[in-house]
């Protein structure tokens, strides 16, 4: 990935799609937190600069729709993208577009997953390496299940396909900088089990087209491979430093993906500045 500074002057966005945890938000989900207990105000300052410039900030997260909508309100946005792209909220929740990918059932993907035993299959096969990301895993969801741990996503996909659940995918949504007693892993990641075709990039495509935006009018900021995949839908993607390892390990990084020197909120602010907005 190229340094974020190299993007300067190449984009002038009207919209910023941003991940929340690990990107805009620091440890503990705080807008003002940085690793080591440091108070970091630059993300809030960058949000203010975006507001003054009339640039919309659209939260794009694996969180539930209700949770992401609350974050959208805090950053002054009428729109949001939740559950890894499966739900796109428009006009202060007046409309929700559901994009459930390969799911063809009559209930919800979450219910279908629960009844199929797909989640249990993964948990049994990865004891000590994968568990529900409690308590957030147990909030009401429609199209995704949330886990934490460290697994080989390609192997997990093959396992699902062999068990007759090939309509499902397992996506890596970034590193969780914490240790958990039930996990014996080197690094904890957040994972989402969801229908194939449900991605942040697809959610951004739906939102962008509904709002009449061209890719070059948008940028994205994140910390995970699922955020780097937004490169197909925006002029530039900025990965904050704490997400560099996971994105590089995933491989196939697009030319319009850049990396910041700062992590978390400081990286968010750096990306905004590189886009000529801060």
Q: Are residues 236 and 249 in the same domain?
A: yes
Same domain? For 155 and 182 the reply is yes
Q: CATH number of the domain at 141, please.
A: 3.90.1070
Identify whether residues 176 and 113 lie together within a single domain.
Answer: yes
- Can you give the pLDDT at residue 278? 73
Q: Are 17 and 159 in contact (CB under 8 A)?
A: no
| 109: nearest Cα among 165, 71, 147, 155 | 165
This prediction has a pTM of: 0.95
Residues 80 and 18 in one domain: yes
- The reply to whether 84 and 160 lie within a common domain is no
Task: Please write the tens of the pLDDT for every residue from 101-139.
Answer: 999 999 999 999 999 999 999 999 999 999 999 999 999
Segments forming the whole domain that contains residue 121 = 109-195
> How many angstroms separate the CA atoms of 23 and 272, rounded?
12
122 and 69, same domain (yes or no): no
What is the domain count for the chain? 2
**Each residue's pLDDT tens digit, 165-205:** 999 999 999 899 889 999 999 999 999 999 999 999 999 99
Tell me whether residue 104 is in a domain.
no
* Pair 169, 253 in one domain: no
6 lies in some domain: yes
Spatial distance between the Cα atoms of 81 and 184, rounded to a whole number of angstroms: 32
Residue 73 lies in a domain: yes
């Amino acid at each position: 990935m190229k340094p974020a500074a190299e993007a300067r002057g190449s984009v002038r966005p009207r919209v910023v799609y941003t991940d929340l945890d690990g990107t805009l938000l620091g440890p503990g989900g705080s807008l003002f937190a940085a690793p080591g207990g440091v108070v970091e105000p630059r993300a809030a300052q960058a949000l203010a600069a975006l507001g003054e410039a009339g640039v919309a900030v659209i939260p794009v997260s694996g969180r539930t729709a209700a949770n992401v909508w609350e974050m959208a309100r805090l950053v002054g946005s009428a729109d949001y993208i939740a559950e890894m792209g499966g739900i796109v909220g428009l006009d202060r929740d007046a409309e929700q577009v559901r994009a459930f990918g390969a799911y063809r059932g009559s209930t919800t993907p979450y219910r279908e997953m629960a009844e199929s035993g797909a989640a249990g299959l993964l948990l049994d096969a990865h004891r000590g390496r994968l568990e529900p990301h409690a308590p957030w895993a147990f909030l009401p969801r429609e199209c995704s299940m949330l886990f934490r741990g460290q697994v080989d996503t390609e192997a997990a996909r093959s396992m699902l396909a062999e068990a007759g659940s090939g309509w499902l995918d397992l996506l890596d949504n970034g590193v969780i900088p914490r240790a958990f007693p039930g996990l014996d892993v080197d690094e904890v990641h957040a994972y989402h089990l969801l229908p194939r075709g449900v991605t942040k990039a697809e959610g951004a495509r739906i939102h962008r087209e509904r709002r009449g935006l061209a890719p070059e009018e948008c940028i994205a900021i994140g910390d995970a491979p699922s955020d780097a995949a937004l490169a197909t839908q925006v002029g530039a993607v900025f990965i904050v430093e704490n997400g560099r390892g996971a994105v590089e390990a995933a491989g196939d990084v697009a030319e319009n993906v850049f990396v910041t020197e700062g992590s978390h909120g400081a990286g968010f602010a750096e990306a905004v500045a590189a886009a000529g907005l801060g």
